[in-house]
Amino acid sequence: MRRLEDIEERPRNIMPKKIRLPKGKKTKYAIVLGTRPEIIKMAPIIREFEEQGLNYIIVHSGQHYSPHMDSNIFKDLNFPKPDYNLKVGSNSRGKQIKHIMKDLENIFKDEKPDIVLVEGDTNTVLAGAYAASNTGIKVGHVEAGLRSHDRRMPEEINRILTDHISDYLFAPTSRSKENLLKEGIEENKIYITGNTIVDAILQNLEISNHDSHYAKSLIGRLNTRDYVFLTLHRQSNVDSKTQLKIILEEIVKIPKEYGLEIIFPMHPRTKKMISEYNLGRHVERGKGILATEAVGYLDCLQLESKAKLIMTDSGGLQEESCILGVPCITLRENTERPETLAVGSNALIGKEYHKLLDYVGKSLKKGNNWKNPYGDGKTAEKIVEIIQNDLDLIKCAE
């Protein structure tokens, strides 16, 4: 952990506020993040802070630490480096959370933010919420109320605990709010705001059209411009040799059956397990699969937007495919994004991997006339306005 003193002064475009605080009482915000999805979904909030000239710090746990999964995103999004990097790296869940909590409590005691914002369901999110609560700081949970109803998933435990710790719960949809109410969380803490992923896509898709040279080179290597975009990373899929083998054996049938090639950027964890289990023959180029290293965010966004079909076990890609108008097949038994199933953008395969080819055929025929359920792209603006007005009123009364 270290304070980065060489950060360039952030440009400030100070906008008039509804409440003008006396000097020395300005509300201070802390953003805690640790993985690529968190950075992407927090980016619109950071942009909103910048536009309004608000006082904030960014703390990065370092839970994702490879360049494509981490530091390159800050460059792609033209953001300053985090104020702190805890460099937690890879470790067991318990050790990660303990490490992050300890360092965050020290930072919070020094920086004294009025609120800590976390996003999603990672170990970093839970540790950030706990550390803030332990030091008497308010917690805001962005993307609150998501539930897979499968407590075997570490992410589900992280979501539930973080929601019950939080003072502000920013639910992306009415369904998310209903989940929170059923668990006894007070309604006055819950705000339906939409999802910042819509903001992020609207802000970054045009940038990716111009800057995603690697994505374009990958598409150029295919024999056809019609392809499936595939990602795999969840423990339940890649840490089991039997499960991973089943998935790969079914996926390699797709090119022959449908004439679609597969672009497969491999998460570092997935690449490692394919090697350890000696399953590399399933991702050979001659079988219609273009397996690559993990790609940067803008390249990933470009590859998603141009695909005929997305197959994934990622929660974020279920949302992104829905917003981009690309059919999705989720390689899991459950999903915390049931809205995508309701509108018809997503199909949940469950355990029916032997029917994957049928799922592909049905997904390719369904079209993309569904309505995006995640908001209008102004979620970050709504979240910042809610927090700012509430905390500024509190500070004025002090």
Per DSSP (E only), the strands in 172-230 are 190-192, 227-230
- Dihedral of alpha carbons 204, 208, 209, 211, sign: positive
Question: Please, which residues have CB within 8 angstroms of residue 12's CB and are 6 or more apart in sequence?
Answer: 50, 53
Distance CA 323, CA 91 (A): 34
Task: Compute the distance between CA of residue 300 and CA of residue 316 in angstroms, rounded to an integer.
Answer: 12
Question: Length of the chain in residues, anyone?
Answer: 398
Q: Hey, what amino acid is at 132?
A: A
CB 299 within 8 A of CB 209: no
DSSP string, 8-24: PPPP------SS-PPTT
Distance between CA atoms of residues 45 and 31, nearest Å: 9
Phi-psi region of 120 (alpha: psi -120 to 50; beta: other; left: phi over 0): left
Residue 233 annotated to the active site = yes
Phi-psi region of 315 (alpha: psi -120 to 50; beta: other; left: phi over 0): alpha
Report residue 230: phi and psi, to 5°. -120, 135
Strands laid side by side in the 168-171 sheet: 2-3, 84-85, 55-60, 28-33, 115-119, 138-142, 168-171, 190-192
CA distances from 58 to 118, 158, 282, 315, 374 (A): 11, 21, 41, 24, 25
Half-sphere exposure of 281 (CA within 13 A, CB side): 4
Q: How far apart are CA 344 and CA 339, in angstroms?
A: 9
- Residue in 233, 267, 282, 354 annotated catalytic: 233
Q: Is 277 in a helix, a strand, or coil?
A: coil
Burial of 213 (0-12, 13-18, 19+ CB in 10 A): exposed
Q: Looking at the annotation, which residues are catalytic?
A: 233
